[in-house]
Structure 1
């Protein structure tokens, strides 16, 4: 197997969120327009008929048993907002009703782009239990994701992830794009963040709220920023954690994130050595162990049952636990086992990232991620552009460099535009923006720039490691966010929290 930039970098470095809520996890691919299958409606709120959830996917990749605390439903919205009376799609929603005196609804987007909010809230509700006393906790599969007209690509995701040695990655990229067009062509032009923001306002209205109370993580900060730009007068209490600034180029984003993951790996290696590390007695030795394993997998993948741990999948496996300090031990355990010939843990980590479920099928996560990313930019980097980028990556973090290169959007069948890059929430209520100094995927500098672009942003700094501060274990961050969401107490200018 060869590692190619198309599979191991371009998709791997799209903004992926809520590591604290999702690790480890698998996703679910639903029907192209349907929502979660459900029993007959139990309660109605506005345009949403709520009923029992029956097809949620748990952290182990299997269907979860029904939980009476969870309700699911669908909301019908236009496929094309320029033709509001034309074809429609159904958005899948999930709700946990407030346990106490209700303030209203709090809507979550946990990241991606391409992540299932329905499955994630089902798994992560205990992490937000402190907010569930006063809010109905609500999330959804954004358009183009899983149950909400999820992008399908004819089974090409697995083919892309297991590209054979000698195969042309640019050809695979073209074939993948063609398969997506064949299966989801009518949806692809309408899965961008601006469309999703308009969906978000339809959700707000259907929930019966005058203003939207919102908690966005990672990519969810982009969706929230676009909503606040388009509907500033509808912004309620907004928290944007692990902030993403969309005003970066393809190359700037990739290089910034590569540096972030390189720094996170260094922090992991130092921590591992301090704890007594199975991978080496010094940080350099730890790095050498991982690099040697990855290099060896290029020519000789590791057999795991009837599957193989390839170099590309191992790259996903290395990246995944770097999102949260709490999952660093999985990286040590997985590499140590793989060095001895057992790739089970690393393959499981890769499956978490790629959305592979227990039955061997995939969620729409990888396809949806590409579709939304390509919709949100007019950039179409060529293979030559990506090759030049790869040379720069080799100098920063060789573990993420590649032999062969392609590019995710070069052959994409739907045009993209830059509308979702324009951020200005002038006139909105204050928006709390949280940036982590040790965040590998959405670096702190993006929180600073997004706060400035919003005009109404209030920046909170978290000094610790990991992607997302609220779920990092920081009592300081949690108190500050809860005080704002529950009582309206805005953090002071320049507020900061130490590492947990």
Structure 2
């Protein structure tokens, strides 16, 4: 006679049976012989099952379980018999007779032994069409260490407690959705549902239930047929993806990361029908499949090498298709049978038939993208909105619009919403808000657009087209005078071409525009999330409209008073500290992980100084192809390092590799990073460019600052003072010099530094890193002190804004603030997860 299954296994199997019970009213899965169960009854049975599992776990945790059944164990067995009887009475299945040995109810076949004492796997039929497969997003993801039935029950409870999911599923609370959960040896998870409609609905809403129930995992369309996938950009089209020799050569060049693991497959990113177009290009994007998620993560971190060049490498994320007829997810317009929805005004008609006078911004896969007129004689503000499902169905849970500003001044809120940042923000603040990105006055798609030089062609000839070209190194003799001379000419041109709109592009006007956007949504109070310069914008709104604040998080805080005083030096207090973190982190990582390693942090710093001196004398030429060539010089390297320390956890390995290559005379990696890989081109001499970041930055910054017209010697003296604060002063200070001879005076609307602050209707949450190269921590302390009742959350990390590192602590505090405006205690410091030089990120 075989040994009876253990009680723990019976409880797990019984809980699986409970979740398979049909609920009233009868569904297509309910047979006439099976009685339906009310939601209330099912919830009571589930509660009893959970209590039973908890009791057994507490009993098993005893130091030495008695050899004979204890009263507690006998009580648990009695509860199990009672629960089994309840389930059997509802399913009309024969009840197993209670006995001390407890026989298993005939519900499921249990597969192999668990990988540890906490995980039970169940054998379920393989049906890829009903699969939802999830994989760990990184090597730091903790594997699931609990029974599949626990995961299954958790998923059901989440579904039943969220109205929007029930709406997508067309299901009532208690309706079975998850048929089974399977844990695989590679730490992936397979969720099996009952029908295709359920699978589509869960795939549409995956960003929410996955985060809550399976943190650290991401969803894909079934198991990867060719392992885990990355994409490498800039691969020469002479590469033959189907050639085993080519794959072997690529694997050999990247053997420091692959470590004898194979490249499973590779192919071009573009479709077969685009092959003709691809042959006309010299470079394209290559998709590579590798065996494990951790290997893919390491290749992305270290960047794939091709013929000695480190190429931009990214993960590939498959997403559900989006219909541009009805804006639903899960099908394309060619197969759409739903009523049309306008992408401009959300009306019941196709977008192309819309009579709305407002110009529409290209929406990609976002629902609504109108322009809003704010004093139509002055400006039209371009918006993009991801609507909340609660707002669409009129739920009381809807909280209105959440406006975001990514910084600058000059950064586009529309572009931010069109990136993965939007999804990360929604996961943080919840889907009770409409996420609204907007281009402030003068920026991007808003009109009129700030343009100091009337056309792209003229700007290119004048040398204003890129950030790196716009910031000559001021430490080189003569460059202060050269910058001032160019500024006077450019600003004189701007005074003529932009005379009609230039005085109206500043932070206070943008603050007024934000309140108009809020009122256009039918709300009275502002919810806002601002980063970097966006914190000055937030502080300005809070000072002008203190009684109209609903929620406000300011992350990467500029000293608002110093900003309006025009003191650029206040931004430099932590810049050198951030660069010094690289030296120390490189030394501590060692030569296996940091390609720029040397005998001490001090020596690594000296090696960088030597590179600077070398580039002053002899810039390194770069030739990629006949359409992409140039050089890496001193000013470019200064700018690159300034950018890299903004996101050290992401870019320190790349910085070390690039510096090591630069020592060998190879500047390709840095040249590509600087964004100068293509020669200039435009459609016509009068074309405009939506990406007008530098012009917008200077327009807003100079309009906000007091007039500062000094002589060359006076500016040189101010620069020398700033250089005493940070050796990277020249990267920032060139912007201040460009306000010389500014064509308009400071508007009366610009607040004086002393007028900032006040008591707001809701407290403000300030967030700051301990070391921030652009917005030092002391600025956050000073600005938060202007608003009584606010709180400052400090994240113990290096980088620009808290988003430069991962911190579950910071995320939970911010998320809780958006729920109930609760603030952390004074002096709260959050730690971060991650390393500057993770294993596998070496050159």
TM-score tier (shorter): 0.7 to 0.9
Q: TM-score, normalised by structure 1?
A: 0.79
Structure 1 SS opposite 2:562:
coil
- Counterpart Cα distance in 2 of 1:368 and 1:97: 28
Partner residue of 2:382 out of 75, 79, 92:
92
Deviation string 1:121-166 (CA, Å, 9 cap, x unpaired) is 2112232131242211111111011212221122141385386997
**Correspondence for 1:432:** 765
Quick check: 2:572–2:729 contact (8 Å CA) kept in 1? yes
**Correspondence for 1:350:** 674
Question: Which structure would you say has the larger RCO, counting Cα contacts within 8 Å and 6 or more residues apart?
Answer: 1
**Correspondence for 2:554:** 240
Please list, as runs of the form range in 1=range in 2, the aligned pairs for 1:55-204 lying within 5 A after superposition.
Answer: 66-67=364-365, 69-78=366-375, 87-99=377-389, 102-123=398-419, 124-130=421-427, 131-148=429-446, 149-154=448-453, 155=459, 156=462, 157-158=464-465, 161=470, 168-204=482-518
Stretch of structure 1 that moved more, 418-427 or 204-213? 418-427
Please list, as runs of the form range in 1=range in 2, the aligned pairs for 1:466-481 lying within 5 A after superposition.
Answer: 466-470=799-803, 472-481=805-814
Quick check: 2:707–2:742 contact (8 Å CA) kept in 1? no
Partner residue of 1:310 out of 633, 642, 660:
633
Report how far residue 291 of structure 1 moved.
2.3
Partner residue of 1:380 out of 693, 698, 708:
708
Stretch of structure 1 that moved more, 220-229 or 202-211? 202-211
CA distance 1:231–1:40, shift in 2 (3 Å): same
CA distance 1:43–1:259, shift in 2 (3 Å): same
CA distance 1:252–1:232, shift in 2 (3 Å): closer
**Correspondence for 1:329:** 653
Deviation string 1:26-65 (CA, Å, 9 cap, x unpaired) is xxxxxxxxxxxxx862516xxx99998537xxxxxxxxxx
Deviation string 1:183-238 (CA, Å, 9 cap, x unpaired) is 33322211111111001111111122221111011111111111111111111111
Quick check: 1:226–1:420 contact (8 Å CA) kept in 2? no
Quick check: 2:722–2:729 contact (8 Å CA) kept in 1? yes
- Counterpart Cα distance in 2 of 1:411 and 1:471: 36
Report how far residue 470 of structure 1 moved.
4.5
Q: TM-score, normalised by structure 2?
A: 0.48
Deviation string 1:426-455 (CA, Å, 9 cap, x unpaired) is 243111111221112111111111111123
- Counterpart Cα distance in 2 of 1:471 and 1:485: 21
**Correspondence for 1:54:** 362
Looking at CA atoms only, which structure, 1 or 2, has the larger radius of gyration?
2
- Counterpart Cα distance in 1 of 2:563 and 2:445: 30
Stretch of structure 1 that moved more, 445-454 or 270-279? 270-279
CA distance 1:344–1:135, shift in 2 (3 Å): farther
- Counterpart Cα distance in 2 of 1:298 and 1:432: 44
Structure 1 SS opposite 2:550:
strand
- Counterpart Cα distance in 2 of 1:376 and 1:463: 31
Report how far residue 411 of structure 1 moved.
1.6
- Counterpart Cα distance in 1 of 2:648 and 2:430: 26
- Counterpart Cα distance in 2 of 1:225 and 1:357: 39
Name the Cα RMSD after superposition. 3.2
Segments of 5+ residues of structure 1 without an aligned counterpart are 1-23, 25-38, 56-65, 79-85
Stretch of structure 1 that moved more, 479-488 or 96-105? 96-105
Quick check: 2:384–2:437 contact (8 Å CA) kept in 1? yes
- Counterpart Cα distance in 2 of 1:98 and 1:90: 24
Segments of 5+ residues of structure 2 without an aligned counterpart are 1-311, 313-341, 348-355, 391-396, 454-458, 624-628, 683-688, 834-843
CA distance 1:246–1:43, shift in 2 (3 Å): same
- Counterpart Cα distance in 2 of 1:497 and 1:360: 47
Deviation string 1:290-325 (CA, Å, 9 cap, x unpaired) is 222233333333333323333222221110011122
- Counterpart Cα distance in 2 of 1:49 and 1:437: 48
Stretch of structure 1 that moved more, 361-370 or 232-241? 361-370
